[in-house]
Amino acid sequence: MGIRKIEDEIDLKEAMKKKAAELKIKEIKAKASVENLTKERLSELAKRHGIILALNPKLKGEIKILQEKYNIPSSKIITEQIYESDVMKTKSKKIDFEKLGLLAYQRVLMRKEETGGIMPISEVFETINTGILKGNVDIKDLIKAMNLLKKMKVIDDVKELDSGATIIHFFPVQYTGDEAKVIELAKENDYLTVETVCTAFNWSQARTLNVLSSLENTGIAKFRESLLTGKQWFFPSI
């Protein structure tokens, strides 16, 4: 084995360790965030995202009020926090697909401001490919879990594109708000670029591309790329 190949393998292992550490930190922060929910935060989640985290029995009365106020269905009320050990028991290695889907849902929820709630299945997989699930769950398992959540009306949609890619819409459009923001921005511009959207809303490139791709797949946006102008999205119907 050549020295260059050995160095490449070392770099790859280090990158994988770094990614695993980053995901673990996000998981810990998400857990702490759930455990320290206040009435104000609970209300914000219900109003902005259309879901209720009913994990604190002390807030039972508040939960009922929020459900009626925002007309939130029971399928959008999360009554337990899911852990990797709930998804798969160490001995049997049998996967609980409903719990797998809910684990992904809860982890994406805690990163909603970063992702926008519209993600390719590969990115969703990164959120759950940790701990005891790493190497024991694949993307096909996750797609099965996501379709189950769609059937249960927990998530909004699972879309397979002509390219073969699978996109997960975790929240209805009225709760993501990202598409609406981009459409309003498009009204003020002849076309949009990733840089234009990122700058306007202080979003990451990943979040911006997810939204632009979603609008493109629904026919609202038209994509064009050239050496001179780069990637541009047009909105002829606006």
Residues 176, 177, 181: CA angle, nearest 5 degrees: 145
Please identify, in words, the CATH class of the domain defined by 3-36+80-172. mainly alpha
CATH class, domain 177-234, is mainly alpha
Angle ∠(17,21,23) on CA atoms, nearest 5? 120
**Residue 67 has what pLDDT?**
80
Q: What pLDDT was estimated at residue 102?
A: 93
Provide the phi-psi class of 50: left if phi over 0, else alpha when psi is between -120 and 50, else beta.
left
From residue 50, alpha-carbon distances to 115, 170, 172 in Å are 16, 11, 8
Topology alike, domains 3-36+80-172 and 177-234: yes
- For residue 106, the tally of other CB atoms under 10 A from its CB is 22
CA dist 196 and 219 (Å) reads: 20
Within 10 angstroms of residue 83's Cβ, the number of other Cβ atoms is: 14
Contact 224, 234 (CB under 8 A): yes
From CA 81, how far away is CA 34, in angstroms rounded?
8
Q: Could you give the C-alpha distances from 68 to 56, 64, 147, 192, in angstroms and in order?
A: 18, 6, 27, 39
pLDDT the model gives residue 32? 44
Query: What integer pLDDT is reported at residue 19 of this predicted model?
Result: 61
| pLDDT tens per residue across span 51-82 | 777 777 777 778 888 888 878 887 778 777 88
- The domain spans of the chain are 3-36+80-172, 177-234
With 0.75 as the threshold, say if the pTM is over it. no
In the chain, which residues have pLDDT < 70? 1-39, 41-42, 47-49, 113-115, 173-176, 237-238
